[in-house]
Structure 1
């Protein structure tokens, strides 16, 4: 099952450096496969370099997609982390 949600990036630096590393660590820990889409670019959320290369800035809306048995729980956890600013 694939579930998606749109979420606004609240981190002051967008998804660069520390916030990207925090998100990638979380995405790698959950059981679902997690991707992030911004405009035409879709990246593996478990890849720090992928997240940074997407050039996602504060206030930008991204689409998070989770695929797997625990997609609902994993999506809620990823969305909550992004909304909280990823420790930035």
Structure 2
């Protein structure tokens, strides 16, 4: 299963606005995408399109997360979603 590690860039972590932006981007993809903290097991992965799952992940600024997806264009999808996480959405 393809995976991509991303570092949370938003200063508030994956909370509120950054989580909503990421959940929206993940839900627009035609693949099931999961997210987990880098140190967590694959079994702890959550639905990346669920804002509640994202906020319960507790990922803070600088934390590394693992995105996983399977299917056509999975690598491209993971790159696009990683770019969302690696952008600071708190900049005015």
Please give the TM-score of this superposition, normalised by the length of structure 1: 0.90
The Cα RMSD (Å) is 1.1
Number of the residue aligned with 1:66: 69
Check the 8 A contact 1:31/1:74 in 2, yes or no. no
Check the 8 A contact 2:3/2:75 in 1, yes or no. no
1:48 equivalent among 48, 51, 59: 51
CA shift at 1:19, angstroms?
0.5
CA shift at 1:54, angstroms?
0.8
Equivalent runs, 1:14-29 vs 2, <5 Å: 14-29=13-28
Q: Which moved more, 1:24-33 or 1:37-46?
A: 37-46
CA shift at 1:73, angstroms?
1.3
What is the number of equivalent residue pairs in this alignment?
Answer: 86
After TM superposition, which residue ranges in structure 1, 4 or more long, deviate above 2 angstroms?
A: none
Please give the TM-score of this superposition, normalised by the length of structure 2: 0.86
Check the 8 A contact 1:9/1:58 in 2, yes or no. yes
Q: Which runs of 5+ in 1 are unaligned?
A: none
